[in-house]
Amino acid sequence: MKPDEHLIISGMVEDPHGKPVPEAVVRIFINGNEYGAGESEGGVIHTSNQGTFHIDLPLYKGEVYDSQIELEISKNSFRKIEKFHVKDVQMAGKSDDEKPRYLFEKTFQMTHDAGPAYFIAAIILVLVYIFIAFDIIHRTLAAMLGATLLLFISYTLGTFFPEYFVLSFENAIGFVDFNVIFLLMGMMIIVGIMKETGIFQWLAYKSFQYSKGSVFGLTVILMAVTAVTSAFLDNVTTMLLLTPVTIEIALVINVSPVSLLIPLVLASNIGGTATLIGDPPNIMIGSYAHLTFNDFLINLTPVVVIVFVIQVVMMKIIYGREYEKARIVDLEQLTERLSKEYRIRDKRLLSISGVILAGVIALFIAHGALHMEPGIAAITGAAFLLLFSGVNIVHPLEKDVEWSTLIFFIMLFIIVGACEETGLIQAIADQVIVMSQGSLVIAIILVLWVSAITSALIDNIPFTATMLPVVAHLTQTLPGADSTILWWALAFGACFGGNGSLIGASANVVTAGLSEKAGYPISFLGFAKIGFPVMVMSMIVATLWLVFVEM
């Protein structure tokens, strides 16, 4: 028996914040009976990644008007839409086989339900934070355990009890931001090859030469070099390369290496705030919010410059007496020795890598016009540098690419994706809206200072990953927040907050480790006495800028 008519049912399923709900189950009922029941697939249809579904329902004469057609939409962690009656069907012409076609279209909204999956995601997120904050296990292992546990529970307990299904493997992969992964990988390869030229050690030597024996002048020049370098390269790598040279110079001029290293690492975190690629939180924010390199440069750099100038003054006040104790016996002889020890080792490789790095940065600047993700520019630059430099690809992949960091990001994206999928992120965002009382100014201050204080206590990367969808929701719902101002609040808080404590940023931990290895430990309290006031100062400047200039 051939159908006489076709009913086309099209729909969009969204959450309360207007975001699509993928993998929702749509069932069709005709006169109370499930359509297709007993067949292998039944009448079950799943929404796409964009939250859409499309049903071509073959009907027989009269059924469009005489039958009761209903839809039921369900998904774990959401309240079920019960038996929605299909009505107000419109005539939509005829199909290819000249059969009448009718059309029904509607957007459905599903509200979150705090079921078992919600609490599983929340508990795992908190546990991962605790493991990372207190350094109980390596942060990559903590994130890996969290992500794999979410998937394991979903495909074991969740198979038999759907309310325990947290996240599908397909959705988990979809939450991974490969733009961030490629950007980090590409820049790791480029920096890894560049450091073989000796350029970073040479910069330290030139800083000493231009300071002309002034320890405070040397500190300011080194801070400026560190800040600018960190704005365009990874600040962890910058400190890895400059710390040993700085320690040696400090010992030669008879000052404590700590009095040079702390100003440098603070400048590194401040300088890294200025650009899209300067600090991992900025990379994540830029990719998630589709912000360009120029957006960061225009909106963040003025504040970074102001904060850097004030930091220089603070370092003079704090370390002025220490610098006055310096004794340089023979400045010319010392300069000559450093010029031989810290020279450019491979000018050809430096020329090639310099040209390619300049090209990559040019693509970063132009990527808004080209609609090219920064990750494409970075990985392209890395590929060409490997090709033209003649470096064995195995060496940078094994030595320079921090695979543990990349895996950490991938697993973290999955954990935060699970929290977003179950409605936990939306609940946090709703709470921030309640606390802000609908005021954009209060929301800016909340995002800014909560980000800074939290980033001072735990690694700013997992915090930023958690806050991305929260800020996205606030941007869409708060009156007047449809600009990028809340993204800048998050960037300033996450990056500047890293100066608040020794564990606030990866560059701090790396620098402290190298200093301790050389026999000059940096204590938690010793760092906080310097870093926390700098953080507070930078946050005050950022708050005044966002409230009185950006708004």
To which residue do tokens 């994130």 refer?
143
Mean pLDDT across the stretch 275-280?
A: 86
Q: What is the pLDDT of residues 7-20, one digit of tens each?
A: 788 889 988 767 78
- Higher pLDDT: 376 or 57? It is 376
Contact 482, 475 (CB under 8 A): yes
β partners of residue 7:
57, 102
pLDDT of residue 539: 96
**Is it the case that residue 317 has pLDDT exceeding 80?**
yes
Which of residues 287 and 145 earns the better pLDDT score? 145
pLDDT value at position 470? 83
Kindly state the average pLDDT of the residues 390-414.
87
Q: Is 90 helix (H, G, I), strand (E, B) or coil?
A: strand
The pTM for the full model equals 0.77
Residue 288 has pLDDT above 60, yes or no: yes
The pLDDT of 86-94, averaged and rounded, is 65
Given a cut of 60, whether residue 283 has pLDDT beyond it is: yes
Question: Is residue 530 scored above 90 in pLDDT?
Answer: yes
Which tens digit of pLDDT belongs to each residue from 127-170? 988 887 777 888 889 989 999 999 999 999 999 988 899 998 98
Nearest to 7 by CA among 81, 90, 85, 66: 90
Check: CB of residue 80 under 8 Å from CB of residue 73. yes
Task: Give residue 328's identity as a one-letter amino acid code.
Answer: I
Q: Regarding predicted confidence, which is higher, 21 or 535?
A: 535
* Alpha-carbon torsion angle 54, 56, 57, 63, nearest 10: 100
Average pLDDT in the 162-179 region? Answer: 89
Contact 335, 194 (CB under 8 A): no
Strand runs labelled E in 391-484 = none
Q: Which of 37-41, 62-66, 348-352, 442-446 is predicted with the least confidence, judged by mean pLDDT?
A: 37-41
Q: What is the C-alpha separation between 420 and 299, in angstroms, rounded? A: 28
- In this structure, which long-range contacts are made by residues 17-20, counting pairs with CB atoms below 8 Å and at least 24 apart in sequence? 17/426, 17/429, 17/473, 17/476, 17/477, 18/476, 19/51, 20/47, 20/49, 20/50, 20/51, 20/52
The answer, yes or no, to whether residue 272 has pLDDT greater than 50, is yes
Which of the listed ranges 103-107, 133-137, 211-215, 359-363 does the model predict with the highest average pLDDT?
359-363
Mean pLDDT value across residues 337-352: 85
Mean pLDDT of the region 261-281: 91
Residue 525 has pLDDT above 60, yes or no: yes
Residue position matching structure tokens 């600018």:
228
How confident is the model at residue 91, as a pLDDT? 61
Question: Looking at 141-150, 209-218, 405-414, which range is the least confident one?
Answer: 209-218
Q: For position 40, what pLDDT does the model report?
A: 40
58-72, 337-351, 412-426, 433-447: lowest mean pLDDT where? 58-72
Top CATH class of 5-109 equals mainly beta
Q: Is 12 left (phi over 0), alpha (psi -120 to 50) or beta?
A: beta
| Confidence class for position 39, pLDDT limits 50, 70, 90 | very low
Eight-class DSSP state of 548:
I
The residue ranking higher by pLDDT, 66 or 495, is: 495
Res 421: pLDDT? 85
The residues spanned by each domain of the chain are 5-109, 199-343+431-550
Which pLDDT score is estimated for 280?
A: 83
Confidence of residue 38 (pLDDT cuts 50, 70, 90): very low
Q: Is the pLDDT of residue 262 over 50?
A: yes
Confidence of residue 89 (pLDDT cuts 50, 70, 90): low
